[in-house]
């Protein structure tokens, strides 16, 4: 009964949008005809006719056009022969939920899991079922927590939620196309935009109820605590993955290379004690954004609260890593990694090589920029020139149209990077990979960390370079050593 009501509601709203849009187009044409019959001047009729024709064309093109997607299903297909344990787990969960298992399982590089079904005729005719599992989830959650995520997604099948997917998607697609053709700020666009907001509000209220229903399957099949714990970890895990992609996975691209073990790298970052501490802080302290009628999911706090209010089932999560669901994790990760970089032309390289080369190149460029900038103003291209400029309060004259604080911060960064480059050139230090968010540390040969950045940045606010000069002396950095000066400052210097 719930399915019938929801399907009818989705269809009614979709049909309603078509009726409203076509009605507006017809009204515009009728207005032009009535104006002509009323004897309105030809010039005015012509202008009105052009406006009506453009609006009507945009409406019909948006309603009856289709957005072509030739990319095919996302991710990498996982066969039962490749990963029998994963298939067995999902098959058992599907039986417990009371639904047909997916026809395909695909691994994707997102902190997400989802299901889809290519159903036809409003879900009355079953289609290909696909389950998408994000590898970051497999690496960041326990086996029991991932089991709760999979049970949640299969719960959408059991509730026939995915059968409504094509209808809901078609409605959103039509609304977006029409508004795109007309322009959301046009009069007609604003009218149809009001209906669109109604459609989103109603369809997303259905989605929110579906999420809560699926959560019940999650808690019942994986345990109340594991289901709540998995939900609480999604936000910090997503933040960790975004940071990893931006800071680590993109290393080497300027030299035609990419990491040879992307997901193993992410796993190493997650196991770093400082990273784990930061993720716990995000989980416990990150404020939840205000909820809206247009949200497709209920607030996470509401979902966790509802799950936690369920009767204690006594299920204990023993913390077994979720990667145990895969018979051959390395093969699965390599296949997805290959898929991600297909067509990029990037050559795989070891993490240590990527990090060392990337950071070494960065400090080399900083030294060149610092030397070139000094020469441009007629000063010796040395570290001492930068020190003296930082010693003076106020503007450093380094950047145009920037605040004094921005100028001084950029100069401090260049000074510290150039000092690091000096140590590396003299063989006194090198960069070492770290997974604590800093990408790499400058280390002496005895493994001790060397930090030129902290004393350099002290001069930004205190207008005193004593700490940096003391650091340079202690580490044998020659402030009067001439720097390379080959780069164009206008291209390389920008606000931090």
DSSP string, 391-407: HSSS--S-STT--HHHH
Cβ–Cβ under 8 Å, residues 24 and 192: yes
Q: Which residues contact 433 (CB under 8 A, 6 or more apart)?
A: 351, 352, 355, 356, 439, 440
Q: Which residues contact 392 (CB under 8 A, 6 or more apart)?
A: 463
Q: How far is CA 132 from CA 110, 129, 137, in A?
A: 10, 10, 11
Q: Is the pLDDT of residue 399 over 60?
A: yes
- pLDDT, tens digit, 9 for 90 and up, residues 246-273: 999 998 888 899 999 999 999 999 999 9
Identify the pLDDT of residue 295: 83
- pLDDT, tens digit, 9 for 90 and up, residues 23-79: 777 877 777 777 777 766 666 677 667 767 777 777 777 666 655 555 678 899 999
The set of long-range contacts for 52-55, using a CB threshold of 8 Å and a minimum separation of 24, is 52/28, 55/24, 55/25, 55/28, 55/182, 55/186, 55/188
CA atoms in the 13 A half-sphere facing the CB of 72? 4
Q: Is the pLDDT of residue 489 over 50?
A: no
Identify the pLDDT of residue 494: 44
pLDDT band at 201 (very low <50, low <70, confident <90, very high): confident
Average pLDDT on 168-173 reads 62
Tell me the DSSP string of 360-376. Answer: HHHHHHHHHHHHHHHHH
Compare 111 and 289 and report the one with higher pLDDT: 111
pLDDT band at 3 (very low <50, low <70, confident <90, very high): very low
Burial of 213 (0-12, 13-18, 19+ CB in 10 A): middle
Cβ–Cβ under 8 Å, residues 182 and 189: yes
CA 241 to centroid of chain Cα atoms:
8
- CA atoms of 2 and 431, how far apart (whole Å): 60
Tokens of residue 129, six digits = 């079922």
Q: Is the pLDDT of residue 6 over 90?
A: no
Identify the pLDDT of residue 439: 87
Query: Hunting for tokens 């209808």 — which residue is that?
Result: 167
Q: Is the pLDDT of residue 170 over 70?
A: no
Average pLDDT on 383-399 reads 82
Compare 132 and 63 and report the one with higher pLDDT: 132
Q: Comparing 85-99, 333-347, 401-415, which segment has the lowest mean pLDDT? A: 401-415
Q: Which residues contact 85 (CB under 8 A, 6 or more apart)?
A: 324, 325, 326, 327
- CA atoms of 478 and 469, how far apart (whole Å): 10
Cβ–Cβ under 8 Å, residues 333 and 263: yes
- pLDDT, tens digit, 9 for 90 and up, residues 218-250: 999 999 999 999 999 999 999 999 999 999 999
pLDDT band at 314 (very low <50, low <70, confident <90, very high): confident
Query: Hunting for tokens 């009767």 — which residue is that?
Result: 311
Average pLDDT in the chain: 84
Average pLDDT on 359-377 reads 89
pLDDT band at 388 (very low <50, low <70, confident <90, very high): confident
Strand 104-108 versus strand 76-78 pairing type: antiparallel
Within 309-438, residue ranges assigned H as helices are: 329-341, 351-376, 383-391, 404-425
- CA atoms of 131 and 137, how far apart (whole Å): 14
Q: Is the pLDDT of residue 150 over 90?
A: yes
Tokens of residue 64, six digits = 């009856």
100: left (phi over 0), alpha (psi -120 to 50) or beta: beta
Identify the pLDDT of residue 231: 96
Q: Comparing 34-38, 308-312, 355-359, which segment has the lowest mean pLDDT? A: 34-38
- E strand map for 76-121: 76-78, 104-108, 113-117
Identify the pLDDT of residue 122: 47
Q: Comparing 44-48, 194-198, 378-382, 434-438, which segment has the lowest mean pLDDT? A: 44-48
Compare 309 and 194 and report the one with higher pLDDT: 309
Q: Is the pLDDT of residue 173 over 70?
A: no
Phi, psi values for residue 348, rounded to 5°: -70, 140
CA 237 to centroid of chain Cα atoms:
11
- CA atoms of 127 and 194, how far apart (whole Å): 33
Query: Hunting for tokens 């209010």 — which residue is that?
Result: 309
Cβ–Cβ under 8 Å, residues 127 and 228: no
Cβ–Cβ under 8 Å, residues 158 and 43: no
Helix (H/G/I), strand (E/B), else coil: 152: helix
* Degrees, nearest 5: CA angle 13-17-19: 115
Tokens of residue 99, six digits = 């639904």
Q: Which residues contact 143 (CB under 8 A, 6 or more apart)?
A: 320, 321, 322, 324, 325
Q: Comparing 57-66, 82-91, 280-289, which segment has the lowest mean pLDDT? A: 57-66
Q: Which residues contact 424 (CB under 8 A, 6 or more apart)?
A: 360, 363, 430, 431
Residue (of 224, 58, 56, 54) closest to 151 by Cα position: 224
pTM for this predicted structure: 0.78
- CA atoms of 251 and 346, how far apart (whole Å): 11
Identify the pLDDT of residue 36: 73
Identify the pLDDT of residue 139: 97
């Amino acid at each position: 009964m719930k399915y019938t009501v929801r399907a009818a509601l989705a269809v009614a709203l979709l049909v309603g949008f078509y009726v409203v849009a076509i009605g507006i187009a017809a009204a515009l044409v009728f207005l032009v005809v009535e104006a002509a019959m009323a004897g309105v001047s030809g010039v005015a009729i012509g202008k009105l006719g052009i406006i009506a024709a453009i609006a009507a064309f945009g409406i019909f093109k948006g309603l009856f056009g289709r957005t072509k997607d030739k990319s095919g299903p996302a991710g990498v297909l996982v066969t039962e022969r490749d990963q029998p344990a994963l298939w067995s787990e999902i098959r058992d969960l599907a039986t417990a939920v009371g639904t047909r298992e997916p026809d395909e399982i695909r691994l994707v590089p997102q902190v997400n899991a989802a299901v889809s079904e290519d159903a036809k005729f409003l879900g009355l005719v079953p289609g290909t079922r696909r389950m998408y599992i994000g590898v970051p989830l497999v690496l960041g959650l326990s086996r029991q927590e991932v089991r709760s995520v999979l049970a949640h997604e299969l719960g959408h099948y059991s509730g026939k939620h995915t059968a409504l997917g094509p209808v809901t998607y078609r409605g959103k697609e039509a609304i977006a196309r029409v508004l795109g053709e007309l322009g959301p700020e046009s009069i007609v666009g604003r009218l149809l935009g009001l209906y669109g907001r109604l459609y989103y509000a109603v369809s997303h209220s259905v989605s929110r109820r579906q999420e809560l229903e699926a959560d019940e399957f999650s808690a019942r099949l994986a345990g109340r605590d594991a289901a709540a714990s998995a939900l609480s970890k999604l936000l910090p895990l997503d933040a960790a993955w975004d940071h990893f992609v931006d800071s680590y996975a993109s290393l080497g691209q300027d030299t035609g290379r990419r990491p040879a073990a992307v997901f193993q790298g992410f796993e190493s970052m997650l196991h770093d004690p400082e990273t784990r501490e930061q993720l716990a802080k995000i989980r416990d302290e990150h404020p939840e954004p205000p909820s809206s009628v247009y949200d497709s999911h209920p607030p996470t706090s509401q979902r966790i609260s509802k799950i936690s209010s369920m009767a204690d089932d006594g299920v204990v999560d023993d913390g077994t890593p979720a990667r145990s669901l895969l018979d051959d994790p390395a093969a699965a990760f390599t296949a997805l990694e290959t898929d991600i970089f297909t067509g990029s032309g990037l050559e795989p390289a070891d993490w240590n090589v990527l990090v060392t080369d990337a950071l070494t190149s960065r400090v080399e460029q900083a030294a060149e920029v610092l030397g070139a900038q000094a020469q441009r103003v007629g000063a010796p291209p040395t570290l001492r020139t930068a020190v003296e400029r930082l010693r003076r309060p106020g503007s450093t004259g380094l950047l145009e149209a920037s605040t004094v604080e921005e100028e001084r911060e950029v100069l401090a960064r260049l000074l510290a990077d150039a000092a690091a480059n000096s140590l590396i050139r003299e063989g006194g230090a090198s960069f070492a990979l770290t997974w604590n968010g800093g990408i790499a540390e400058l280390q002496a040969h005895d493994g001790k960390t060397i930090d030129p950045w902290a004393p350099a940045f002290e001069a930004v606010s205190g207008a005193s370079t004593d700490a940096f000069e003391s650091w340079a002396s202690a580490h044998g950095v020659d402030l009067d050593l001439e720097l390379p000066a080959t780069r164009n400052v206008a291209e390389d210097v920008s606000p931090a």
